[in-house]
A and B are shown apart, each in its own frame.
Chain A
Amino acid sequence: MKTLQKNEVKVINAAVIIVIVFASLVPTGLPITISDPTIKMYDGLSSLKSGEVVWFSFDQVFVVLPEVKASIQAVLQHLFMIPGIKILITSSYADGPAIYEGMISVTNKYGKVYGTDYVFLGYVVGNELSIANLARDIKVTCPVDNYGTPLANLPMMDTINGAKDIARYVTITLGPQFYWYIRQVVAPYQIPMYTISVGYFLSEIMPFFASGQLSGYIVGLKGGAEYETLIGTKGLASRGADAMSLVYGLLMVAVVGVNINYLRKHKGGK
């Protein structure tokens, strides 16, 4: 017992690793509750009509990819499932193109054709300035796509000139770029914006959801699991959600145990 108390953090870390490995190898299929922001995001994207354009921004870095990879795949898969819509993909982070290449082969299982149904403009340098320029005039800011093809040669881009031609905006945010899009896309053009975010950024995006500037969001692995449930698939996020629930439970049991021990030791002010 004394050894356990002396090495409590090491024991907890070891237990967490065991729980994660167990949950990854043996799916427990724990139920997943779906939150309101996820439902709003799903409904908002599902209501897209044929011919409407979604601007999907791969503003992501590899560092936090494990947390949002499943969410990105689920949302992209959902967008590819919707018939007739067009998807314009950009990135204002240098890691974006590499992440896009890894995702597109996994999610495009519905026969969407590049150039007709979706286009990838690549990494557009300039941070907030590039977002403002793209929103104003895409063809002047980015005359060719990520592969060097002039936009004039891509049939999808015939009718898309700027943010005013966009019906929905989906971004992956983990920091300041969220505010860039609020300032340069949502505020001037009133485009409904949805975001895939990481857990530590949830507190910052909640005021925007409450005020209506953000129309819906999914956060982290849990958000990805919720979205996978809504689109009817069981992917990475659903498996990870089992591990997440078990780790949370383990942590709470450990904290309760430590507090019981602490109160027992300090009972009566001793």
Chain B
Amino acid sequence: MSDILKRREIPIVITAFVGIVVILSYFISFDPLQSTASTFTSWGAVLVASMVFIGLINLCQVHLNHIRRREKGIWPFSAWLLVAMFGTIIIGLWAGVPWGTQNDAWVFIYTYINTSISQTIFSLFGFYVISASFHTLRARNLESVIFLISSFVIFFWAMPVGTYIWPGFSPLGDWFMNVLTAGVYRGILLGISLGLISFGIRVISGIERGYLRGGK
């Protein structure tokens, strides 16, 4: 019995069946099909939620290893991460009912610690972008001059006051964004979509077995 359950064909058949039912539910209006697909997607949402705990366990394993091995320059930050993570969880759960967004302690941590730190770190990107622009926008050759001119057009287009300086920046910037940029991204998105379709067909048909113990 255990040999039968270990056969790779079982998860492949399950994957194929679920995949085909969910895909067909988008194209065929048939109530039993729709409700079966809805059940499968609900199960999937529960599995996604359970992944949070898997991630938590994995995080603990990785960082406890760093602490156990006293890895130079890393283990103090690993220890601090675990203290902050479990501290937040404990405070959130035991600071009193109600839990969640109505809990004062949780709100305090999110508003005055998480928010402030996240936004501070992200704000630093602005200075990196300024520094990168400064070094990149130099008229060294013909290509860089074209890049410089087009960057200036986009600067004026993106400025709130830009089109007041010269109204022509609006159609010019729109052309750069709607024709050049959107065209490139359209190609990239089409390529990604075709790749995803191909990958999905391979998973459903059992050719792609990377999710089964390394695909052997």
Contacts and interface: CB of A to CB of B under 8 A. Distances in A.
A132 B137 CA distance: 45
A101 B110 CA distance: 11
Interface string B38-56: 1001101110110010000
Contacts, number: 155
B185 A252 contact: no
B48 A125 contact: yes
Given A101-B107, A133-B38, A244 B44 contact: no
A13 B127 contact: yes
B2 interface: no
B45 A129 contact: yes
Contacts of B42: 129, 133, 140-141
A176 to B, nearest CB: 11
B123 interface: yes
B181 interface: yes
Interface stretch (A41-49, A152-160, A165-173, A255-263): A255-263
B186 interface: yes
Interface in A1-51: 8-9, 12-13, 16, 30-33, 35
A206 B162 CA distance: 20
B189 A207 contact: yes
Interface in B130-187: 130-131, 133-135, 137-140, 148, 152, 155-156, 158-164, 170, 177-178, 181-182, 185-186
Interface stretch (A58-66, A73-81, A82-90, A108-116): A58-66
Interface residues of A, number: 61
B30 interface: no
A204 interface: yes
Nearest to A252: B155
B21 to A, nearest CB: 13
A207 B180 CA distance: 11
A14 to B, nearest CB: 10
Contacts of A13: 127, 130-131
Contacts of B138: 258-259, 262
Interface of A: 8-9, 12-13, 16, 30-33, 35, 61-66, 95, 97-98, 100-102, 122, 125-127, 129-130, 132-133, 136-137, 140-141, 146-147, 188, 199, 202-204, 206-207, 210, 222, 225-226, 241-242, 244-245, 248-249, 251-252, 254-255, 258-259, 262-263
Interface of B: 26, 34, 38, 41-42, 44-46, 48-49, 52, 98, 100-102, 107, 110-111, 114-115, 118-119, 121-123, 126-127, 130-131, 133-135, 137-140, 148, 152, 155-156, 158-164, 170, 177-178, 181-182, 185-186, 189
12 contacts: A9-B130, A12-B131, A30-B161, A97-B100, A122-B100, A125-B52, A127-B48, A136-B38, A206-B182, A222-B158, A245-B160, A262-B138
